[in-house]
Structure 1
């Protein structure tokens, strides 16, 4: 677009210059063209900087030389032929050489103006480029930042759609980076981030997009790719990363975990692609870190094995839970313990096998919505503020949104949705009470609260078993269903005996 505009503008400008040089136009038209010529001269110098300036400088320099030469020739002619020039014309002729000199100086002035305008244009371009770097580039690593990444991924998906091709997204996370920072200091942490960015950039093609997604997370977009191509890139990255850590003398356990997905093979849109690559990354980290994981459609797997293979079903659920475990240290093993308490309570209340199965799944998935809650809130070392508590209380709703693919399992969804409701109607998120709350949700409420009481949190020490039982009894009939509390405590006492 710029080249085309430059060509058209330059041609028009040169045509005007040639018409002016021909001297065939009347004075009034020459004046109008002169104004247009000056305007175009300044425009191309500003719009195209030194390239445009060179056109203006050359044409105006030639014109100034032409006017100087014409002035000298005319002065010589007048001097030699003064006796032949009538007196009534001699006065006007004497003004012609100085006029040509003035025109020459005007052209020289245009040369100076063109140079200044081109310089100003260049400085403005540098400033704009600097501002663009601030807006689009991560200041530490020199990669694209999180904000610009989202612009580029939209553009890449549009290109993939137009070419009927694919787009791969790789998410990379430095394992145990927080511990690395705490142990070796922030400067070493920054150095590791910079070196990681260099590895990713060097192992990517020019057409790839490499960005610092946030903190110690990086993202790479690869156009027109497939699973094998992505794995080849990942192997190169891991090999180069290992060589870099050895050369830079970083600790041996300085590793990276990688997750990836592909549009449109697995993802339907930009949001899906980002979510899936993130989910795959969490799965890779949960496998023991220093791993690579392709996105797995866990909900599809859960649905496939819902009424058949028990091991496959709960294996899929545990993979799904890994996304929460990666963010919330407290959730680790909490869901499994809540499941055990809930199933024992359901058995004591005479649930059949299918009902126990759904209760087991609901207990495992009851905190899945915490994946949408900021990590700093989940792992905060002091009591939560009012606004933070309100945000955390949204996690049952987040769970329902995440579990939308299982929406036809209404009793399962309702158990998760209502497990923070209170028997007296003062719970959340809907404030229902008594028998309005599904029985499974009332069971889950007691099991979840009991395990929370026993667990140590950063801001408080866990209760003893006897203290937790007293708390359940104290809140029986208000927070908890009395039937569930009695059944639950009997189970605990029988286990103790």
Structure 2
């Protein structure tokens, strides 16, 4: 919609420029008619010839300069953002027309209608107010010339005649200006309908993307940060299922009101889709965005909604993700994706919380050799491709990283091992880039050949990072996270302590999340069911000590964890 409005303004500038250019050409004709027509001869003396040549060249140069100025993008930009530029241009034209009228007969001049050019173009461009002002100024100039050059005439015929011309000036400015006003109001109403979500009365998804592109341009040119908020209503489907979509619509309306009353005037609130809302925060740091988001979250939590007592957490709440340009993202796609990742993390940790975007890859950049820094970008791209193939892999990776952080503290790992486990958790499925999407998301049991293909992903992952010295310690985790404590795993069939310690930790965490997640080929287990499975498989699939430690982690943090 913004693009359409810009094109419309461009067309208006072009029309106005053509009319004003025509008025300059008309002015040139008046000058020639005045200076070089004495009514008796058409043959000029040398002196008059050179005089006419210089005046003609001056007019041509003036017309050429204005022509270039009229159709330049710089002129249009000035006219759009600086009203003073338009005012100066109008005054220049008024001055030119006034001089032409004086030299072509002053009060007897037949060219007083020239002011209509500037009245019409300014009214079209700026509206009724500007048109009436210019009509009044033009009228005052015309009448002043009539009075100043009237001489000793007892009856000022020119003054009387020009009163009719002044009426024409006003009647041109007022109806045309009123039409422009009505057209602008109608256009604004259509724009409002096109940009506003009909249910919540905040901006819609399309307007959000248009505005984000525009605000990113401003942020890049100014050097100021730009933050966005993505917010999702927790358990909204549950509420809709209990009370119906009409009740759910009322919740959405109230949430939109909460957002609007807690943001600043320059912020842009939009319904992003379904039960998701987005807020663009111009010139806002991550810290400031977190503060605004926390105010919104608390307001939602403290607002009383009908039927909220039957929600899983006893009230209507919202989870919020935040990202900031340029610190966390470099473009529109990265900004939205990173905010969505932060929202996902907020939903994972028991919902009703605010999370800023955090990437392990950014931390990894600090530890990796300079010559391999480009690999991080490549890894990020590979993971994005895997996510596009299989949404489960993305969520699974994020959850495994979080679980590994929790068990690292439980097991008392040193800082180096904590970091290695975290990187291994993030990269352990990177080898799936070579696995066909049909295999990753297949709902039926895999064939023998498909299973053999899937089992290659640990070795494939090692191939991707094996040349990076700073990731050497991560290789055993990627390669052996599917080994079993009883020796019946793959790819090496390692047993017991033969399996690297951190790989044994990753195996427990990886398996637990697989059991408690929705997969195409199995039914999701509850936390309690998965804990029982860990107990049953201790000493067989899992290291019993690590399995017991992880069970304790789950039981200690059960009230803080949630699965989407």
- Structure 1 length-normalised TM: 0.54
Q: Does the CA-based 8 Å contact 1:203-1:236 persist in structure 2?
A: yes
1:51 aligns with 2:129: yes
**Number of corresponding residues:** 344
| Residue of structure 2 equivalent to 1:246 | 304
Once the two structures are superposed, the pairs formed by residues 24-423 of structure 1 within 5 Å of their partners are 25-26=104-105, 30-31=109-110, 33-59=111-137, 77=154, 97=157, 101-243=160-302, 245-246=303-304, 250-251=308-309, 252-299=314-361, 407-408=464-465
How far the C-alpha of 1:258 sits from its partner, in A, is: 1.0
Distance 1:34 1:304 in 2: 74
Distance 1:299 1:199, change over 3 A: same
SS of the residue 1:206 aligns to: coil
Q: Does the CA-based 8 Å contact 2:252-2:275 persist in structure 1?
A: yes
Moved more, 202-211 or 255-264: 202-211
Q: Does the CA-based 8 Å contact 1:263-1:269 persist in structure 2?
A: yes
SS of the residue 2:330 aligns to: coil
After superposition, what is the alpha-carbon deviation per residue over 1:325-362, rounded to whole angstroms, capped at 9, x for unaligned? x9779x989x99xxxxxxxxxxxxxxxxxxxxx99999
Q: Does the CA-based 8 Å contact 2:297-2:354 persist in structure 1?
A: no
How far the C-alpha of 1:120 sits from its partner, in A, is: 1.0
How far the C-alpha of 1:112 sits from its partner, in A, is: 1.5
1:3 aligns with 2:83: yes
Q: How large is the RMSD of aligned CA atoms in angstroms?
A: 5.5
SS of the residue 1:246 aligns to: coil
| Residue of structure 1 equivalent to 2:59 | none
Distance 2:143 2:427 in 1: 90
Q: Does the CA-based 8 Å contact 1:209-1:222 persist in structure 2?
A: yes
Distance 1:116 1:155 in 2: 35
How far the C-alpha of 1:159 sits from its partner, in A, is: 3.5
Distance 1:38 1:213, change over 3 A: same
Q: Does the CA-based 8 Å contact 2:196-2:202 persist in structure 1?
A: yes
SS of the residue 1:172 aligns to: strand
Q: Does the CA-based 8 Å contact 1:203-1:233 persist in structure 2?
A: yes
Q: Does the CA-based 8 Å contact 1:63-1:107 persist in structure 2?
A: no
Distance 1:69 1:299, change over 3 A: closer
Distance 2:83 2:246 in 1: 46
After superposition, what is the alpha-carbon deviation per residue over 1:195-233, rounded to whole angstroms, capped at 9, x for unaligned? 212222221222333222222212223344444323221
SS of the residue 1:125 aligns to: helix
Structure 2: which 5+ residue stretches go unaligned?
1-78, 369-382, 401-422, 445-452, 468-473, 479-489, 492-510, 525-539, 542-564
Q: Does the CA-based 8 Å contact 1:38-1:110 persist in structure 2?
A: yes
SS of the residue 2:163 aligns to: helix
Distance 2:317 2:432 in 1: 29
Q: Does the CA-based 8 Å contact 1:199-1:240 persist in structure 2?
A: yes
